Every structure is written in structure tokens, then in C-alpha cells.
Amino acid sequence: GGNRAPDYLAGLNPEQRLAVETTEGPVLVLAGAGTGKTRVLTTRIAHILATGRAYPSQILAVTFTNKAAREMKHRIGVLVGEAVEGMPWLGTFHSIGVKLLRRHAELAGLRSDFTILDTDDVIRLIKQLIQAEGLDDKRWPARQFAQIIDGWKNKGLGPSEIPEGDARAFANGKGRELYKAYQDRLTTLNACDFGDLLCHPIRIFRAHPDVLKEYHRKFKYILVDEYQDTNTAQYMWLRLLAQRPEARGHVPAGQTAVAEGQSPQAAVRPVSENQVNICCVGDDDQSIYGWRGAEVDNILRFDKDFPGATVIRLERNYRSTAHILGAASHLIAHNEGRLGKTLFTEKADPDDAKVMVHAAWDSEEEARAVGEEIEALQSRRHNLNDMAILVRASFQMREFEDRFVTLGLNYRVIGGPRFYERQEIRDAMAYFRVVAQGADDLAFERIVNVPKRGLGEAAIRQVHDTARAMRVPMLEAAGKLAESDEMKPKPRAALREVAANFARWQGLIDTTPHTELAEIILEESGYTEMWKNDKSADAPTRLENLKELIRSMEEYESLRGFLEHVALVMDAEQNENLDAVSIMTLHSAKGLEFDTVFLPGWEEGLFPHQRALDEGGRSGLEEERRLAYVGLTRAKKNLHLWFTSNRRIHGLWQSTIPSRFLDELPEAHVEVAEAGSSYGGYGMGGFGERQAGRQNPYGASRFDNVGSGAGSFSNTYATPGWQRAQQNRTEATDRNWGSRSGHSV
């Protein structure tokens, strides 16, 4: 070996290089935003491959979203070329989980062609169970119980493991039975939910040490990005895979914290079969999924879990200007529960723009002004791809979408309502699912009477009951009922046709190209016809979507491959090639970076969110602040923050108060934007002062006077009733968002 470092190592700083070259033993990279943690992971994989330490198939690499996995694959490809193609174990916890489960489905009581249910399916299923228990499903909403189950699964708890108090809290004390009935039902359906994609493998690993051992031999290197947001189940899963009992005592101790400037050469250790070669990277300041069960403590106890771990800190931020970094660091310093870290940047050009704070009258004004700003940037040859709008709550998106449509500005919603969630797409998919997997009762129920075939609720219930009594899938029960005289002639004829259709389509699976089969199914079932006859305004769009669905199937080899793709892919794939502004929630922006970032809606009750304020304690507010930190640190060059003086919620105007987070930004790095022509009088003199009469719940805000000079719509700051009304709304959407990106595969 000569002294010349391979190309991919060039340009790394000494600590980054240490993290890349310390391939053996446990390594934790704990560092702030933009310091190159993800880059380290990518380069580390390239290094492992380039030095022949492992085959691509022996590397397990976990990212937080699909998008991140694709991005990582791409970056590794740039470094090592084709070797990256064979990396089957690079993905999210869920995508890797599904792969494991397919291999060992029988150990979880499933067949390998099991279906993955989405949230809608789960809720429908739980509703049935709640009703079957004779419970009032208004008093005990299925959606709520679905969330409770999800929470249990995030902790890796099965029905027998949940705490007594938890079990008693739902459904008149029937929580545990319901959970168990739900799991039994999933098994009968040959299906699982997203939580099972982790929980089943965990249980399999525990019950079958031989299987676990197979993976210990298989995975020579384990890498995890965004480690601060792993939940308990993910943590248990990782520990099972990474901790090898035989390895205890063999791990060389002593090399814990590595100070800056220490020689990176000391790193490479000899390979040992039992060694725990796990590398996790994360930032405690960016832990933003606590509300969904993420345990930031996982990162704090890493060196207890993996004795002798090398802990590496990175301090140079390569992403942002000094103003942006200064603003973000100052803000996050208001949190108490943090490890604390230094960050510096060498990007300090006197021409760099300060962080801009803008005021708008209301959200329409805000969207209009952001649109103008974007167009101005565009006219100076900035790419739309380099700009993003990051919102606290998804309802904020609509205003921007509307505005951009009006302006003809391309945009894409990331992690948002997607193509595959549309009604017509879900219907079509349900047909495909039943054809691919006859036991998929939920899919069957969805379309058995779509289009209308004269199968009323009673008939469907009869199919349902027969299926349960005979312990067979509903499709099979339908076939049986169609041959018996237990049913009235009309529904009977309808069922006979349904059963015959599915039997025929299933028979075509192996002989007909899947795109062709899909077209046949949609034609022969009368589904396409249904929309052709539909007079509503959106029917033509739906027909177009169905065509697009068939087109998109061409990229997959089989119907099953396609169905799996759709079940798993949660990231929106909105025309990746188009130059477009990205719109997404702050939660989905983790790990990403853009030249210009717009952060609208910095108002009390929206950001920080009312939910966090209502909690009263420090932890909710601190998580909001970490979210703000994530938002600020996405920007490389330009950062624009917005707040409005008024918001219209459910048709009612309410005046609002600038976010306390604005006050927590250091004045040296912040500039308040000049009034736009349309705003009327701007009370610029208010910077640093307090406007009398406004009851700001957290004290004086130096932004109180900004932008509200013309008078708020309602100057009496009433109890934030709107905020509470809004909370219900945003909470629901937020949690959807969250679980979406968390479940993305």
C-alpha cells in the first residue's frame, strides 16, 4: 500500500476520514447538521467495497426514507461504479424488514406472498373487529386504535407484552383481546401491517437463533443514518443483528472518543468473524420523531450497547453560510436537554445574505410573496430544483400549490398525497391484489361491488360470514355461495360472475404479460367503463390516471413485483426530472439540502405547534425547536422565514403572534425584509420593542410590530381558539405525514 489515498478519500477532513477508515468495530458519528455524516456513510461503503472487505450483498445499510436510499445508492455508484448494483440490503428499516419477512414468512405464520396493508385497510379491519366485539365504533374509533397498535409495535410489543394499564385503556378493557384478534385476523388474511415488518423479524430472530446466526454471518458491515430517530423496535432489531454474543470481550477497548486532529491512521483493525462492525451516524439536535416513539436515548447509550465504540465528532459544517449556521446554532442553544456541540464553517463571504424574516398579512399574501421571490430568483438563473418550501403542517401546502399553479411554476410535493393514494388507483390496485393473492379479503371487499353489481351490504356480510365459518378467503366463499341456493338470484349471479372473472384472471397470471393482464382486468370488470359513464368533472382525469397506472407497471417484471413496489414506496415520485420547487413538511426534509429555503408560518400556535404548547412541559417545545433547527439547517445559501399577522381558519379570521423562535434568532445574522408594496404600513421601529396591548404569552417579541403596523384583523388577541381548532386538523395530518415518511420503504 502506498501513501496515496484513493480518490474517494480525497477532500475528507481527518475526522471524516477516520470515520470512513475505522471499518472494524462499533463506530458512532455524533455531529451537527451538514457536517458530512451521510457523506461519511456513503464513502465508508465505497471504501469497504473498494478494498474488498465485503461483497455488496454483505453490507446492511439503513436510511430513513426511500429517497435517501436512492440518493445513497446514487452517490455510492459515483464512487465505485457498478459494484453498487448488488446492494440488496440498502434501504429503510421497512424495506429491509419486508425482505427478511418474505424469506422467513412461515416462521411468522404467513406465506411468502403475504400482503402489506396500508393504513386504510388497517382501519377498516379494526373497525370490523370492534363491531364484532359488539362495541360502539363511535365511542371506540378504529383510527385511534390503529394508532395505539402502531405505538405498541413501535415499542416491539406483541399482544401478550403490552402493559396491563395500556390494555385496559381501550375498548372497555378489551384492548389486549382486540389486539390479539387483529393479529389473528392478519394471519388469516395472510397479511401484515407496517409495524409487523419489524416486529415479525424481531420475533423470528429471537425464537430461531439459527436464523439469526445466518444473518450474523451474512452481514459483515451494518450502517445506519439518522440514528437519533430510531424507535425501540428498530433499535431491538438492530441490536439483534449487530450484537453477536460470541464477540463480547474480543472488541478492543480503549479507543473511545477521538479528539480532533488525532491521526486517522490508527483506524484499521484486523477483520474478525465475530466483530460488530456497526457504524451509526446521527445528531441528537435533529431528533424530531419523539412523538412517534423515537428514542433519542438510543444514540446516547451507543457505547454502552457496543463496548469499545469509537465515537467521532465532526465539527465543520460544509453546507451553510455563516449567517445560516449562526442563526441555527443560536436557536438550538435554547434547548436544555442536549449534548451540545461546536459547529463552524469556512463559508463566510461578506456578500452572503443574512437570514431574512418577512411578514405577510395572511397566508395568501405569504404564498404570493414567496412566489414572487422564487420568480425573481428564477430570473437570475437559479434552478427551481435548488429551492424548497418547508411547512410545519401539511395544510399549509395548499396555498402554495394554488399559487404556483396560477403562476405556472413547477412544484413537487414530497412525501405528500400521491398518485397511488387516489381512489381510482386504489380500486384498480385492489383488483390486482386479489388476482395476485386470492386471500386478500380487504382488497376483495373494496371492489366486490365496484362498479355496482347489486351486491348490497347484506350480501357482502353473507360472503363475509361464510368465509369466517368455512375459514376460507372471501373470494372462495363467494364462489361457494354462488353455487348454493342460500342467496337471492340477483346477488348470486353477480357473485358467480365475480368468482368466474377472478378465476380466469388468476389463470392468466403466468401466461399473459402483467400490463396486458391489468388492462384486461380493468376492462372485463367494468371498472374502466364505470368512469367512462361517470359524468363528474374529474372522471376524465381518473381515466388518465388509470392509463398512467398501466404505463407505470411496465417498469416492473411481474404483477407481484409491482404490487410490492406500490405497497412500499411512500415517497412521491413526482417527475423527478422536471425543474421544480419542492414543497414538503419539515419532518420530511430531514437530511436534504437546498440553496434556498423558505420557511413559512412561523407563528405561535403553528410553529411551535399548539400541541407542544398545550403539553406545557419542556420536551414538546424542545422537539419543536429541533424541528426549527432541522428547517434552518437545510439551507445552503439563502434562508427566508415568514410569519403572517392573520390566519383564516375554518372561515374565521384570527390575529396571530410571531413565533418565539424568531426571537431566538441572533440579530447579527438576521435581517427584517423591507415592506412589500402590498403590505401597507410596516412597523419597522418595533424591532426589539414590544407593542403594548398585545398579550404575547411568552413575553416581548421584537417582531410584534413588524408587519402588523396596519393593524391586525382582530387586534384583541383572544384565546387561541382557532389554534385549537386547527390543532385537531394539523395533528391528524401531521401524524399521517409522520407515519408516512417513517413507514416509507
- The catalytic position among 118, 196, 225, 305 is 225
Instruction: Closer to Mg ion by CB, 284 or 365: give it.
Output: 284
Q: Rule CB under 6 A: is residue 13 a binding residue for ligand ATP?
A: yes
Instruction: Closer to ligand ATP by CB, 388 or 439: give it.
Output: 388
Per-residue string for binding with Mg ion, 576-615, x by CB under 5 A?
---------------x------------------------
Q: How far is the CB of 58 from Mg ion (least distance, A)?
A: 23
Q: Rule CB under 5 A: is residue 34 a binding residue for Mg ion?
A: no
What type of residue sits at position 547? K
Quick one: which segment of 29-37, 191-199, 390-398, 456-464 binds ligand ATP (CB under 6 A)?
Answer: 29-37
Q: How far is the CB of 637 from ligand ATP (least distance, A)?
A: 12
| 225 belongs to the catalytic site | yes
Q: Which of 352, 376, 331 is nearest to 632 (CA)?
A: 331
- The catalytic position among 634, 636, 647, 660 is 634
33 marked among binding-site residues: yes
- Helix axis angle, 142-154 to 232-242, nearest 10°: 30
| 38 belongs to the catalytic site | yes
Q: Which three cell numbers stand for residue 543?
A: 381515466
Q: Rule CB under 6 A: is residue 11 a binding residue for ligand ATP?
A: yes
37 marked among binding-site residues: yes
Give the residue nearest to ligand ATP (CB): 36
DSSP string, 263-320: -GGGG-----TT---EEEEE-GGG---GGGTB-THHHHTHHHHSTT-EEE---B--SS
The 3-state DSSP class for residue 382 equals coil
Cβ atoms of 113 and 122 closer than 8 Å: no
The 3-state DSSP class for residue 637 equals strand
| Footprint (CB under 5 A) of Mg ion, residues 35-54 | 37-38
Q: Out of ligand ATP, Mg ion, none, which partner does residue 201 contact, by CB within 5 to 8 A per kind? A: none
- Core vs surface per residue 187-223: b (16+ CB within 10 A) or e: ebbbbbbbbbbbbbbbebbeeeeebbeebbeebbbbb
Residues facing 191 on adjacent strands? 115
Sign (positive or negative) of CA dihedral 729, 732, 736, 739 = positive
Q: Which three cell numbers stand for residue 58?
A: 454483505
Sign (positive or negative) of CA dihedral 211, 216, 218, 224 = positive
Quick one: which segment of 10-18, 95-103, 287-295, 680-688 binds ligand ATP (CB under 6 A)?
Answer: 10-18
Residue entry with cell 434552478: 383
360: left (phi over 0), alpha (psi -120 to 50) or beta: beta
Q: Rule CB under 6 A: is residue 73 a binding residue for ligand ATP?
A: no
Q: How far is the CB of 34 from Mg ion (least distance, A)?
A: 8
567 marked among binding-site residues: no
Q: Out of Mg ion, ligand ATP, none, which partner does residue 669 contact, by CB within 5 to 8 A per kind? A: none
Instruction: Closer to ligand ATP by CB, 137 or 315: give it.
Output: 315
Q: Which helix (H) or strand (E) holds 735?
A: helix 721-743
User: How many amino acids of this chain bind Mg ion (CB under 5 A)?
Assistant: 3
Q: Rule CB under 6 A: is residue 12 a binding residue for ligand ATP?
A: yes
Tell me how far apart the alpha carbons of residues 398 and 640 are, in angstroms, rounded to a whole number: 19
Instruction: Closer to ligand ATP by CB, 41 or 148: give it.
Output: 41
Q: Rule CB under 6 A: is residue 318 a binding residue for ligand ATP?
A: yes
Q: Residue 257 to residues 281, 344, 394: CA-CA distances in angstroms?
A: 14, 20, 41
How big is the CA angle at 529 (ends 526 and 532), to the nearest 5 degrees?
A: 160
Tell me how far apart the alpha carbons of residues 311 and 294 are, in angstroms, rounded to a whole number: 21
| 555 belongs to the catalytic site | no
| 37 belongs to the catalytic site | yes
Q: How far is the CB of 17 from Mg ion (least distance, A)?
A: 17
| Footprint (CB under 6 A) of ligand ATP, residues 277-306 | 283, 286
Quick one: which segment of 30-38, 386-394, 500-508, 720-728 binds Mg ion (CB under 5 A)?
Answer: 30-38
349 CB contacts (<8 Å, ≥6 apart)? 321
- The catalytic position among 17, 21, 22, 37 is 37
Per-residue string for binding with ligand ATP, 593-632, x by CB under 6 A?
x---------------------------------------
Q: Residue positions in the annotated binding site for ATP?
A: 31-38
For the annotated catalytic residues, the residue numbers are: 37-38, 225-226, 286, 634
Q: Give the annotated binding-site residues.
A: 31-38
Interacting residues toward ligand ATP by CB under 6 A: 11-13, 16, 33-39, 283, 286, 318-319, 591, 593, 633
